[in-house]
Every structure is written in structure tokens, then in C-alpha cells.
Amino acid sequence: MKTYVGVFTARLETPWVTSLKEKRAVIRPVMERIKARFPVSAARVAGLDEHGWEQVGFSVVGGDAEWVDGVLDAVERFLYAAGEYRVVVLAREVLVFDGTMTPGAER
């Protein structure tokens, strides 16, 4: 049985904000809405101390590659539509685990 892990990251630019508090007020509500609406894990992963940008990441695990890809599509569409920022860099990958273990990996 195969397991699919989808990972999606985006760089959100906010060059007009003047403080980290203002940037958090723009990005945090969108992240919370994504976590509430979609079956994903979500995190702010880089640029936390920068005013002008932040990188966010999302992951989803499932037994169907099309479903995993569809969830990532929905998150991407929501991210583009929901916030007062520019989405400038996207990276996305679906990893496949086939259920076999490599020697020495048993626990």
C-alpha cells in the first residue's frame, strides 16, 4: 500500500508593512483559516523576523495521490485569494512511500 505526502511552500511578500506585528496580522488569520478549512498541517517557516516577506508551508498525507494533489490545489487557490500579500514563489512536491522498509530502519 502506498502513502502519499504532499508538501507545498510559498513565499508571501508584504513590502508595505512597517512592523512584524502588522505582518502577523496579515498572514496569521489566513494560516488559521487554511488549517480550519483543509486537512493540512500549516506553518510559518522562514522570514519570521523580516518585515517584507515570509515563507509558509503546508503538508498533507493520504492514500490517494489525486486526493493529496487536489488538497494542495485547493490550498494554493485559497492562499492566492485570501490575503493582502503577493505570492511570489511556489514549490510543491508529492512524495511516494511504498510501504517497504530499508534495512536498519525497523523500530
The pLDDT value recorded for residue 3 is 92
The pLDDT value recorded for residue 98 is 85
The answer to the question of residue 104 being in a domain is: no
The answer to the question of residue 3 being in a domain is: no
Cβ pair 100, 9 in contact under 8 A: no
To 5 degrees, how large is the angle CA 45–CA 49–CA 54? 45
The answer to the question of residue 12 being in a domain is: no
The pLDDT value recorded for residue 66 is 95
CATH number at residue 35: 3.30.70.1120
The pLDDT value recorded for residue 102 is 60
The pLDDT value recorded for residue 82 is 87
Residue with cell string 508538501: 7
Cβ pair 74, 39 in contact under 8 A: no
Count of domains forming the chain: 1
The answer to the question of residue 102 being in a domain is: no
The answer to the question of residue 33 being in a domain is: yes
Q: Three-state DSSP class for 63?
A: coil
Which CA distances in Å does 86 have to 15, 23, 55, 62, 78? 9, 12, 11, 29, 13
Given its phi and psi angles, is residue 86 left (phi above 0), alpha (psi -120 to 50 degrees) or beta? beta
Q: Which residues does the chain have with pLDDT short of 50?
A: none
Task: State the residue range of the domain holding 34.
Answer: 18-97
The answer to the question of residue 7 being in a domain is: no
The answer to the question of residue 105 being in a domain is: no
